[in-house]
Amino acid sequence: MPSQATGVYWQVSSAFIEELATFLRGKRVLEIFAGNGYLAACLSQRGIAIRPTSRLSGHDCHELGLYADVEEIDAVSAVSAYGADADVLLMSWPTVTPAAYRAALLWGRDRPICYIGEMTDREADRLGGCATDEFFEAIDVIHRFKHYNGRATDFAVVCKTR
């Protein structure tokens, strides 16, 4: 695993990928905001059944090539189309648009969402640069991945919508 892959702007470590794969093992994963598919490629190499989806826009460098077969579809449409066939929703570095919030609501209550990215925490006076305040106000974190080594504002967690 390269220390910095093209189009990947977060800290990827083998220990974190293995911890995430252990959590996901035996589950069907729908990934939204998959970007160039790097995380999906890492997970599928470890036997995880994953369907990566993305709008393929922005700064994910997908035009330089994809690491996995990423379906071009927006987050809400992906959850509408494939959510019933998945056990876990995975989103890493979602955009600051209502899409993550709407996808989480559509995903439903008490269904696990693996979230990777910056998180807003008003109690800690920390504003994240991913998703929206609505998203963070609608979720409860139930698990933190201990091997994720991002910046102080970055987290990898399992959460559920209220």
For the segment 65-90, what is each residue's pLDDT rounded down to a tens digit?
899 999 999 999 999 999 999 999 99
9 is a domain residue: no
22 is a domain residue: yes
Cα separations in angstroms, 58 against 28, 65, 92, 94, 110: 27, 14, 14, 11, 31
Cα 111 versus chain centre, distance = 14
105 is a domain residue: yes
- Structural domain that includes position 56: 14-161
7 is a domain residue: no
CATH code, domain with 114: 3.40.50.150
91 is a domain residue: yes
145 is a domain residue: yes
5 is a domain residue: no
73 is a domain residue: yes
The total domain count for the chain is: 1
Measured CA to CA, the distance from residue 63 to residue 70 in angstroms comes to 12
pLDDT over 70 percentage in the chain = 94
Is this model's pTM higher than 0.95 or not? no
Range in 33-37, 51-55, 61-65 with the lowest mean pLDDT: 61-65
- Beta-carbon-side half-sphere exposure of residue 131 (alpha carbons within 13 Å): 27
